[in-house]
Structures are given as C-alpha cells and as structure tokens.
Amino acid sequence: MDQRAKEDPRVIELQDVAYSYGGAELFAGLTLSLAAGSFQFLTGPSGAGKTTLLRLCYGDLRATAGRVNLFGADAQAMTRDDVAMARRRIGVVHQDCQFLDHLPLADNIALPLQVAGRSMEAQGNLDDLLAWVGLTAQAAQLPPQLSGGERQRAALARAVITSPDVIIADEPTGNVDWEMSQRLLTLLVELNRMGKTVLIATHDMNLIRAAKAQVSASVLRLKDGRLQAGAAL
C-alpha cells in the first residue's frame, strides 16, 4: 500500500478561499482541511457549490482569493506540471462519470495509467480492479451499454487505478438504487481502511448514516457560501 499520504498530516487545505465563476462569489473566506486518512462527506443544497469546492480541492479550479495547499505545496504558486503531478495523487469520481463512449470499459478504466505513462502496469492492476468492482464480465462493453450502477463502479475503478492517496467523489451514488449505493460505499470504506483519504459530495443522508456505522466519518455542510462542520443528520 502506498503510504505517502501518511507523511502529510493535511493532504489538502483551503484557507480563507473565495471563488467566483465571474458573477457573485460562491464562497468567501472558506476554510477546509482534509487530514490524511480521514473520511469526510460534503453535503448541502443543490447549487451551493459542492462540485466547485471539490474542483478547488483537486486543482481543477484556482481560488480567486485565499490559499490552497495540495500535499503541503501552495497550489497558487504551482506550475501546470506541478498541478498535474499533484493531481496524480488524487483520484476523482466525476458526477457524470465522463467516459469515452467509443472505448471499451477496460480501456476507459486504464486511461489514467496511460496518461501517466505507466501503461506497462495496466493489465495486472486492471484485472484486479475489474474483479474488485465486480465488472470482469463487462470489460469489453462500451460505456453506453452499462447500467448506472456499473458505470459508477467503473468510475471508481478508474479513479483508483493509479493508486492515489486521496479519493474525491462527486455524488458517486447519484443514479443508483440503495443496494448499489451500499456496494459503492463498501468499496469507498475499503479504500479508506487501506489508508486513502476520502471526500464524498452527496445529498444522500441515508448514505452518510450508513457510512457512519462503518467508519469514523465527518460531515461538512455547505450553505450560503459557508461550511458548517458536524452537520446534524
């Protein structure tokens, strides 16, 4: 298991961060800290800015004010290459999965390894990961041929194929039934038990309750541009 995250007590930190897409500020003076090995949920009303906040956390957006630290380095001062290196330590499960529909599922999952120039590792990792998410039989199918739950599990496999320290998942159970959301949660909890830091944006309070029965999870609620810790369930 990759132990690098253990070296950094705070893998991702946002301090007094503001962000605006050009209009009104979505948040101002927002502070968030992801400790290595923690399991955190981000919740809040639709449009509150959860996806935006996650994108700041994985270096996809630059804060308009404040400070973002990725693995101890100031993201605002990073070159594009530095950001790309930091992002390789973060696996992202996007809200809409973002597959390349013309590529078989196995190739989609292996894509991050190829992008990182590590395609030689692909086959062993890929077979293990497909088995882990229960998609061995679907390896050759195209993404549009898969169910919602299969797509979500494939998106999780793709997020972890490079063995990142941090997993950031945006509504990973958004389009699946309760049984499948439990299956996805089990996978995320397993990753956390392996030492990965996990941050999940979700509207699903039942998912949060189920997670809290399995793991020491904290909940952040984003509302009116502010983060409230320890949101009541």
Ligand X SMILES: Nc1ncnc2c1ncn2[C@@H]1O[C@H](COP(=O)(O)OP(=O)(O)OP(=O)(O)O)[C@@H](O)[C@H]1O
What is d(CA 69, CA 76) in angstroms, rounded to the nearest whole number? 8
Write down the least CB distance from residue 137 to ligand X, Å.
Answer: 32
Cβ distance 26 to 19 under 8 Å? yes
Ramachandran category for residue 13: left, alpha or beta (phi over 0 → left; psi -120 to 50 → alpha): beta
* Lookup result for tokens 């038990």: 193
Write down the least CB distance from residue 47 to ligand X, Å.
Answer: 4
Write down the least CB distance from residue 175 to ligand X, Å.
Answer: 13
Structure tokens at 220: 């952040």
What is d(CA 121, CA 107) in angstroms, rounded to the nearest whole number? 13
Residue 151 or 161 having the CB closest to ligand X: 151
Residue 46 or 79 having the CB closest to ligand X: 46
Residue 54 or 122 having the CB closest to ligand X: 54
Residue 48 or 157 having the CB closest to ligand X: 48
Write down the least CB distance from residue 145 to ligand X, Å.
Answer: 26
Q: Which residues neighbour 113 within 8 Å (Cβ) at sequence distance 6 or greater?
A: 119, 121, 122, 125, 161, 162
Residues of this chain that bind ligand X (CB under 6 A): 21, 26, 44, 46-52
Write down the least CB distance from residue 49 to ligand X, Å.
Answer: 4
Structure tokens at 208: 């949060």
Residue 36 or 219 having the CB closest to ligand X: 219
